[in-house]
Amino acid sequence: METKRQYEVVFIVDPTVDDEVARLTDNFKQVVVDQGGSVTKAETMGKRQLAYEILHKKEGTFVLMEIEGSGREIAELERRMRVNDRVLRYLTVRVDEDRRRAEKLKGRRQAKAAKRSAAGSQPRRGGSVEFADANGE
C-alpha cells in the first residue's frame, strides 16, 4: 500500500504572462490529479521581486501548491515544470514528517504547560522563610 505524503511546491512564473498564471496552475493541478494525487491548496502569492536576476527578469509571480500523493505525481509535475519556458524556478519540499514532528512537540509543550499550571495552583509546602539582616533583626 502506498502511503500518502504531503508536499509543498512553489514555482515562479514569468511576470510578463500574468493572464496565463491561472491556466498554468490549473494545468499543473490536472497533472497531479491524473497521476493519482490530490491538490489540497493552490494559492497565487502575487508578483514579487526576485532575490537575483533569472533570465534577465527581476520579478516573478509566485504560486504555492500543497499536494498529497505518493511521489509519482511530483516526478511528473517537476518534469513538466522543467520543460515549460514560463516557469522560471520551482522547489518541492516534503512536509509531512516536519508537520508530524511539530504536532508532537506542540503536544509536549501543552502537557508541560498544563502540568506547570497545575503545580502553580497548589499551595507550597514548608511555609515562608524569613531572613535576618546583619544586625539579627
The full set of domains in the chain, from first to last, is: 5-98 (3.30.70.60)
Measure the CA–CA gap between 81 and 15, rounded to whole angstroms: 16
Half-sphere exposure of 135 (CA within 13 A, CB side): 1
> Under DSSP, is residue 122 helix (H, G, I), strand (E, B) or coil?
coil
> Which cell is 97 given?
514528517
> Which cell is 11 given?
514555482
Residue 23 pairs in a beta bridge with none
Type and span of the H or E element at 64: strand 57-69
Average pLDDT, the chain: 85
What percent of the residues of the chain are helix, what percent strand, and what percent coil, each to the nearest 5?
40, 35, 25
Measure the CA–CA gap between 13 and 3, rounded to whole angstroms: 31
Q: Is-contact 86 60, C-beta < 8 A?
A: no
Measure the CA–CA gap between 68 and 99, rounded to whole angstroms: 13
Whether the pLDDT of residue 18 is over 80: the answer is no
Give residue-wise pLDDT tens across range 20-72. 899 999 999 999 999 999 999 999 999 999 999 999 999 999 999 999 988 88
pLDDT at 48: 93
pLDDT category of residue 133 using cuts at 50, 70 and 90: low
